[in-house]
Amino acid sequence: MKVLLVLIGFIASCVCNVIPSIPGDNSNYVEGVNRYIWMPDGEGVPQLVDLEQSVYVSNPRSGADNQYWLYTRENPINAEILINGDAESIRSSNYNSSRPLIVLVHGWYGSANSEDNILITSAVLEADDVNVIVLDWHVAASLDYVNAVASTLDVGEYLASFLEWLTDTDDEHARCCCCVGPFWNNLHLIGFGLGAHVIGVAGRQVGGRPGRVTGLDPSGPLWNENPNALDSNAGRYVEAIHTDGGSLGIFTPIADADFYPNGGRNPQPGCAISTCSHNRAPELFASSVITNHFEGRLCDDINQAENVQCSGSIFNMGNAISNKRGSGIYGLATGSNWPF
């Protein structure tokens, strides 16, 4: 009998560590159990990730490589580079402190030029006259996934330092150590995948003062019970849009308001593989900024959300409202093609 139990355990271990052969097919992945998973790079191409890869940088100072790319309606295509601590880079740019500020943060293997950044930047500039700063942390994000995860803390702390410095260009009342002034009220942090956890770190580092924080399918592998994960302490209102929960994304509620379009899991409508469902979150958000047509329904629990059976009060998913406030678990159905 003991031999049989050992054999069963050995077989289960082997199954969990089998390398999936079909790129992007994470249908048999179990969070916290499987060793291997397919993840999309900055171009959406599936890459096989070993979640047991060693962390070879014991104290990564990855945030020192952060770059801050500014887009406005005056320069919607060609970025202006802002340099932390260099006031002249602000004065000589199109940055306008009277406008709201949106900060975008890409995910693993991404860059400032990632498709999700381009899509969301175009949408928010169409919707409103704002400053858009795209955080480029491609140096750390290009490490293997395990080490990129280890770098998010430092990247987020450097982003927080940049935001604190940037307040000097804004209203005097925003400069006090703990207050919530116009700069923070009009700040919206948006992060995709690993970028969602970067903005979580940054938001907490500045005392939860950002007016709004949006996590787009926050990365799941290695983030369950990770203290650096995005949570409701990152801003005055924190939301998460879950599209590949339990695989590339976190499925459990982590924010003030958690949205579960089409059940929050793969496959999303029109998707055949997990990487497509993961990438659907920034697409849905960009569409919501322009159309604001995604009506989430309040759920009694996560099971209702997963089964798209929610029928409570309406609270729209996404959109460009800077002072948005709400809480709860919300489910909704979307289409398979833009604008979904």
Q: From CA 84, how far away is CA 50, in angstroms rounded? A: 35
CA-nearest of 260, 280, 282, 259 to 271 is 280
User: Quick one: pLDDT at residue 337?
Assistant: 97
Run of H or E including 139: helix 138-141
End-to-end CA distance of the chain: 54
| DSSP secondary structure string for all residues of 217-274 | S-B-TTTTT-TTS--GGGSSSEEEE-SSBTTTB--S--SSEEEEETTSSSPPTT--SH
User: Which residue's structure tokens are 């804004």?
Assistant: 170
User: Quick one: pLDDT at residue 31?
Assistant: 83
User: Which residue's structure tokens are 């049989």?
Assistant: 4
User: Quick one: pLDDT at residue 302?
Assistant: 97
User: Quick one: pLDDT at residue 12?
Assistant: 41
| 3-state SS track over 230-242 | CCHHHCCCEEEEC
What's the token pair of residue 285? Answer: 């958000």
Cβ-contact 328, 257 below 8 angstroms: yes
Cβ-contact 243, 249 below 8 angstroms: yes
Give the other-Cβ count within 10 Å of 65's Cβ: 16
C-alpha dihedral sign at 145, 159, 110, 291: positive
Please list the residues that pair with 108 across neighbouring strands: none
User: Quick one: pLDDT at residue 174?
Assistant: 38
C-alpha dihedral (239, 229, 224, 25), degrees to nearest 10 = 70
Please list the residues that pair with 49 across neighbouring strands: 37
What's the token pair of residue 17? Answer: 């560590």
Q: Is the peptide bond before 182 cis (omega within 30 degrees of 0)?
A: no
Q: What is the pTM of this model?
A: 0.91
Please list the residues that pair with 260 across neighbouring strands: 331
pLDDT in tens, the chain (340 residues): 444 443 434 334 444 677 887 888 898 899 889 999 999 887 778 899 999 988 875 555 679 999 999 999 999 999 999 999 999 999 999 999 999 999 999 999 999 999 999 999 999 999 999 999 999 999 999 999 999 999 999 999 999 999 999 997 654 433 444 445 689 999 999 999 999 999 999 999 999 999 999 999 999 999 998 999 999 999 999 999 999 999 999 999 999 999 999 999 999 999 999 999 999 999 999 999 999 999 999 999 999 999 999 999 999 999 999 899 999 999 999 999 999 9
User: Quick one: pLDDT at residue 19?
Assistant: 82
Cβ-contact 248, 51 below 8 angstroms: no
User: Quick one: pLDDT at residue 250?
Assistant: 97
Beta strand extents in the chain (DSSP E only) = 36-40, 46-50, 67-71, 80-82, 101-105, 131-136, 187-192, 212-216, 238-241, 257-261, 295-298, 314-316, 328-332
Cβ-contact 234, 204 below 8 angstroms: yes
Q: Which CATH superfamily is domain 52-332 in?
A: Alpha/Beta hydrolase fold, catalytic domain (3.40.50.1820)
C-alpha dihedral sign at 26, 30, 34, 37: positive
User: Which residue's structure tokens are 């031999």?
Assistant: 3
Q: Is the peptide bond before 100 cis (omega within 30 degrees of 0)?
A: no
CA-nearest of 183, 163, 188, 160 to 173 is 183
